[in-house]
Amino acid sequence: MFVANEKMLKQMAEKQGFIAALDQSGGSTPGALRQYGIPDDAYNSDAEMFKLMHEMRVRIMTASSFTGEKVIGAILFERTMDGEANGKPVPTFLWEDRGVVPFLKVDKGLEEQADGVQLMKPNPGLDDLLARTVKLGIFGTKMRSVIHSASEKGIAAVAAQQFEAGKQLIAHGLVPILEPEVSIKSADKAACEKILCDELLKGLDALPESSQVMIKLTIPNEADFYRPLIEHPRVVRVVALSGGYTRSDACRKLAENHGMIASFSRALINELKKSMSDDEFDKTLEQSIDEIYGASIEKV
């Protein structure tokens, strides 16, 4: 497989640290802004809403602690990718100024639940987006689907869709992050994880030997349950989503899973507020980064 940047690949495969998920989009944006301290009546259009969200993300990305020393990658929303930070295109700023590998969220959201899962919506413009993505220096992409119950048929469909889209991304020289999230609210979460692991291993075994993917998963009920995926030769890295856990709970659970690093969103940024001074903002973010970094590299 052709990979646009071998230095980025080496960093994602080998460097200690975690991936920041800065990819809230569409329906999740108002909630993220409210958490940040910006109420719904502070903007009158989607354009104004996304402008405020971009300003928040730039404040995070330009903070002194947000560097490749601990944050080895960042997942972006399309509008963030197209924006600027410190006068540079965001992907260029992240890699050249911060040493952070840029990824892009490329899915278009979720279908309604069926067979205990939510598949990704159709994405007919994906090839055009990927061509533009490569030109902007993006290394990889992320696609999310959700599993709610232990349906073998549904989970097999989720895995099949993830790998089908993943092959499309690989053809553009990108490294896909496959994200079949198991809901932490699932009544049979452990059973979901067993079916999912089996389906992912089947999909990985069927990939050409030259193909490489990353996988983003809910932290499993059983510590080290996903080790067969972590050790698979076609897997660059397995990363964990926080899934609605508090940061302390997510970090405690993550520290029990060897070889798994964080890719947190809410658990990274929840305590940040627009009203904070720059010093207070930077200190709060640094504490969050340090805690997540620790859980990613210091295992119990």
Check pLDDT > 80 for residue 3: no
Tell whether 229 is covered by a domain: yes
Query: Which one from 70, 105, 142, 179 is the annotated catalytic residue?
Result: 179
Check pLDDT > 60 for residue 2: no
pLDDT in tens, 56-87: 999 999 999 999 999 999 999 999 999 999 99
Question: Which CATH number covers residue 176?
Answer: 3.20.20.70
Mean pLDDT for the chain overall: 95
| Predicted TM-score (pTM) of this structure | 0.96
List, in sequence order, every residue forming a beta bridge with 238; answer none if it has no partner: 215, 260
28 falls in which pLDDT band (50, 70, 90)? confident
For residue 265, the enclosing domain spans: 6-297
Tell whether 110 is covered by a domain: yes
Predicted local distance difference test score (pLDDT) of residue 67:
98
pLDDT in tens, 185-208: 999 999 999 999 999 999 999 999
**Under 8 Å between Cβ of 181 and 162:** no
Tell whether 1 is covered by a domain: no
Residue in 164, 176, 263 with CA at minimum distance from that of residue 206: 164
Query: Which one from 142, 189, 216, 253 is the annotated catalytic residue?
Result: 216
Check pLDDT > 70 for residue 1: no
Section 270-285 average pLDDT: 97
Number of structural domains (the chain) is 1
pLDDT in tens, 146-180: 999 999 999 999 999 999 999 999 999 999 999 99
**Under 8 Å between Cβ of 23 and 75:** yes
Residue in 132, 225, 148, 134 with CA at minimum distance from that of residue 180: 148
Predicted local distance difference test score (pLDDT) of residue 4:
55
Is 164 exposed, middle or buried, given 0-12, 13-18 or 19+ CB atoms closer than 10 A?
exposed
Q: Retrieve residue 234's tokens.
A: 């076609």
Rounded CA gap, 173 and 212, in Å? Answer: 10
Predicted local distance difference test score (pLDDT) of residue 5:
86
User: Is 216 tagged catalytic?
Assistant: yes
29 falls in which pLDDT band (50, 70, 90)? confident
Check pLDDT > 90 for residue 27: no
List, in sequence order, every residue forming a beta bridge with 117; answer none if it has no partner: 114, 147
